[in-house]
């Protein structure tokens, strides 16, 4: 093993777990999750095999956008605990070998942030230029990210008679990164959290952050926003060489490459692979691996050390905005036919298991793929036990219900009265009576035990995180066959999107294959292709043995 190649690239073989402190575990009994509750659950995450915890925004907030509207970038919302409680979580995580990254939401602030309060008080305020102001909305209609609530991205401010830009809700005024003072503030925020011990940031809405088109040309002081991202990355690297920027960039691959810093890198360390995620759903809907295969083949080559983060679901709607209208309708028809399951005309506010009608074969195949595809697997809390959504909860919050720990009251999440919870626990067949950690923990057939197995196998299969990736011709439209080669090793993975069993013929070298998930060896023929069988929705991870 070439240790020198990998020892400082921890993120390439990490297991990322995303959670919102507010919905994970309430220890103080007030109905809201808190840092003390999370501290008590660090060993659960360690046992699952998580190596990187991504904390969704925990900063003081009026809660207009579930914490993505921040009033103090240095603070901890009092309902979640104190800095002391947070540091305790960092220490416990560190002790278990778990790194922590935090959400960096600096495209905008809350409209109640002191900067904005000052900025809107007068055109002469020293904070005025922290935000983007115009006398009139510039020509060209830009659609707001939240089209159900907002008709545009410019809001008139009565007192000072100008319009401010907001790519998201009007309560989230966009910061002006062309202003050097704002860039200094952002650097200080990074510096603060790095000093406290975090290993990097999940950078929110990066294309919006770098989009300076709204700024009056006369005030444009930043010719190349990518140059700024590059300097932010090197600043972070100087402060903490092992830290990462994991960016949210939902754009075509060629644009994503730019956010990595082009072929030479130097900007984001990792980016979520939205295209692979969206085409995975198209493949699932069609029971045909080809849309996914084509997307994987279209991935650009990444700069050294950079990596994709792969995900099946996250805290937002399952966006399908990069599919064609027809393709999106196909996925809607398969996985969210009712209007109440859809959001913003582009996505689904559902979790995976209900979309797959709870079929354990398909659910496991998808999670197997999450861990077997090249890229860093990223889990959203509750996925490991197969939680479902609560469609009675508004908007995106349908997938942000309390973590289900036990079959007891409030799913063991809180001892408070039900009405005090941040969102009602998911009812029905995906409710705590059927889906909870406690009952799955010791059940060898549970999803939780299965996911633990995937995590362990992924963590001991370096080819996945570090290897050269290639798609193999499976000869069967339903089956994705791919290989990863690293050092002397080669692992071949097979995933069957179709309910029909399949036989895949592949010209494999070696004397046998070792099935990494079952431990069973299968000899390879001396001549001719190997014939590998797969059940309907089956999957296999095979190491070639010399």
Residues that bind ligand GLC (CB under 6 A): 65, 68, 105, 168, 204-205, 248, 315-316
What residues contact 307, with CB distance under 8 A and at least 6 apart?
9, 11, 12, 269, 270, 375, 376, 465
Report the C-alpha gap between 304 and 316 in whole angstroms: 30
- The CA-atom distances, in angstroms, between 203 and each of 252, 271, 388 are 18, 9, 27
Of 393 and 407, the one with the shorter C-beta distance to ligand GLC is 393
Q: Residue 237's CB: how many other CB atoms inside 10 A?
A: 15
Q: At 134, list the tokens.
A: 């115009």
Report the C-alpha gap between 293 and 311 in whole angstroms: 16
Of 20 and 129, the one with the shorter C-beta distance to ligand GLC is 20
Catalytic residue among 34, 85, 248, 483: 248
Of 105 and 257, the one with the shorter C-beta distance to ligand GLC is 105
Residue 204 is a catalytic residue: yes
Of 68 and 458, the one with the shorter C-beta distance to ligand GLC is 68
Report the C-alpha gap between 443 and 362 in whole angstroms: 19
Minimum separation from the CB atom of position 518 to ligand GLC (A): 37
Report the C-alpha gap between 427 and 164 in whole angstroms: 41
Minimum separation from the CB atom of position 225 to ligand GLC (A): 18
Which residue has its beta carbon closest to ligand GLC? 68
Going by C-alpha positions, the residue among 228, 383, 236 that lies closest to residue 318 is 383
Minimum separation from the CB atom of position 155 to ligand GLC (A): 16
Of 296 and 348, the one with the shorter C-beta distance to ligand GLC is 348
Q: Cα 543 from chain centroid? A: 28
Of 26 and 204, the one with the shorter C-beta distance to ligand GLC is 204
Report the C-alpha dihedral over residues 505, 506, 510, 515, rounded to 10 degrees.
Answer: -70
Minimum separation from the CB atom of position 166 to ligand GLC (A): 10
Q: At 469, list the tokens.
A: 């990736």
Are 355 and 362 a contacting pair, CB within 8 Å? no
Are 339 and 449 a contacting pair, CB within 8 Å? no
Minimum separation from the CB atom of position 208 to ligand GLC (A): 8
Of 248 and 267, the one with the shorter C-beta distance to ligand GLC is 248
Are 337 and 328 a contacting pair, CB within 8 Å? no
- For 8-48, the DSSP string reads T-GGGG--EEEE-HHHH--SSSSSS--HHHHHHTHHHHHHH
Minimum separation from the CB atom of position 316 to ligand GLC (A): 5
Of 306 and 399, the one with the shorter C-beta distance to ligand GLC is 399
Minimum separation from the CB atom of position 379 to ligand GLC (A): 16
Report the C-alpha gap between 350 and 347 in whole angstroms: 9
Residue 463 is a catalytic residue: no
Q: Check residue 98 and give left, alpha or beta (phi > 0: left; psi -120 to 50: alpha).
A: beta
- For 318-384, the DSSP string reads EE-TTS-HHHHHHHHHHH--SGGGEETTTEE---HHHHTTT-HHHHHHHHHHHHHSSSEEEEETTGG
Going by C-alpha positions, the residue among 75, 78, 295 that lies closest to residue 189 is 75
Minimum separation from the CB atom of position 259 to ligand GLC (A): 15
Catalytic residue among 204, 317, 327, 330: 204
The residues carrying an active-site annotation are 204, 248
């Amino acid at each position: 093993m070439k240790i020198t190649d990998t020892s400082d690239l921890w993120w390439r073989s990490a297991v990322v777990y995303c959670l919102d402190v507010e919905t994970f575990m309430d220890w103080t009994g007030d109905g809201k999750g808190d840092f003390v509750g999370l501290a008590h659950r660090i060993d659960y995450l360690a046992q699952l095999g998580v190596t990187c915890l991504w904390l969704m925004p925990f900063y003081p907030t009026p809660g207009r956008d579930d914490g993505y509207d921040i009033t103090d970038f240095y603070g901890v919302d009092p309902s979640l605990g104190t800095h002391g409680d947070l540091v305790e979580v960092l220490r416990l995580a560190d002790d278990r070998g778990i790194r922590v990254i935090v959400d960096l939401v600096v495209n905008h602030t809350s409209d109640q942030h002191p900067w904005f309060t000052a900025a809107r008080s007068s055109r002469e305020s020293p904070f005025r230029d922290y935000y983007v102001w115009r006398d009139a909305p510039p020509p060209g209609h830009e659609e707001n990210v939240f089209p159900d609530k907002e008709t545009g991205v410019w809001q008139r401010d009565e007192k000072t008679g100008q319009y401010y830009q907001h790519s998201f809700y009007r309560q989230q005024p966009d910061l002006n990164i062309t202003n050097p003072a704002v860039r200094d503030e952002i650097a200080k925020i990074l510096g603060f959290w790095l000093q406290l011990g975090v290993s990097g940031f999940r950078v929110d809405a990066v294309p919006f952050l770098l989009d300076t088109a709204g700024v009056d040309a006369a005030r444009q002081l930043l010719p190349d926003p990518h140059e700024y991202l590059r300097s932010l990355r090197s600043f972070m690297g100087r402060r903490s060489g092992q830290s990462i920027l994991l960016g949210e960039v939902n754009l075509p691959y060629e644009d994503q490459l730019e956010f990595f810093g082009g072929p030479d890198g130097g900007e984001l360390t990792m980016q979520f692979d939205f295209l692979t995620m969206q085409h995975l759903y198209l493949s699932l809907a069609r029971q045909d691996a080809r849309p996914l295969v084509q997307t994987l083949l279209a991935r650009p080559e990444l700069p050294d050390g950079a990596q994709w983060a792969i995900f099946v679901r996250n805290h937002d709607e399952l966006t399908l905005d990069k599919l064609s209208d027809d393709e999106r309708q196909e996925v809607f028809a398969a996985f969210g036919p009712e209007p109440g399951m859809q959001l913003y005309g582009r996505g689904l506010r559902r979790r995976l298991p209900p979309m797959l009608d709870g079929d354990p074969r398909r659910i496991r195949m998808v999670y197997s793929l999450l861990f077997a595809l090249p890229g860093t697997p990223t889990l959203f809390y509750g996925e490991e036990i197969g939680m479902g959504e609560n469609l009675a909860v508004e908007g995106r919050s349908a997938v942000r219900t309390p973590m289900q720990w036990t079959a007891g009251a409030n799913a063991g999440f809180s001892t408070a009265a039900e009405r005090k919870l941040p969102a009602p626990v998911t009812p029905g067949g995906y409710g705590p009576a059927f889906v909870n950690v406690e009952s799955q923990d010791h059940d060898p057939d549970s999803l939780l035990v299965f996911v633990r197995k995937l995590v362990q196998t992924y963590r001991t299969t370096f080819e996945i995180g570090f290897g050269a990736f290639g798609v193999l011709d499976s000869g069967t439209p339903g089956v994705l066959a791919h290989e990863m080669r690293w050092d002397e090793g080669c692992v071949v993975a097979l995933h069957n999107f179709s309910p029909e069993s399949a036989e895949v013929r592949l010209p494999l070298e070696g004397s046998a294959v070792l099935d990494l998930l079952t431990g069973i060896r299968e000899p390879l023929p001396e001549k001719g292709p190997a014939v590998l069988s797969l059940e309907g929705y089956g999957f296999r991870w095979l190491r070639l043995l010399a």
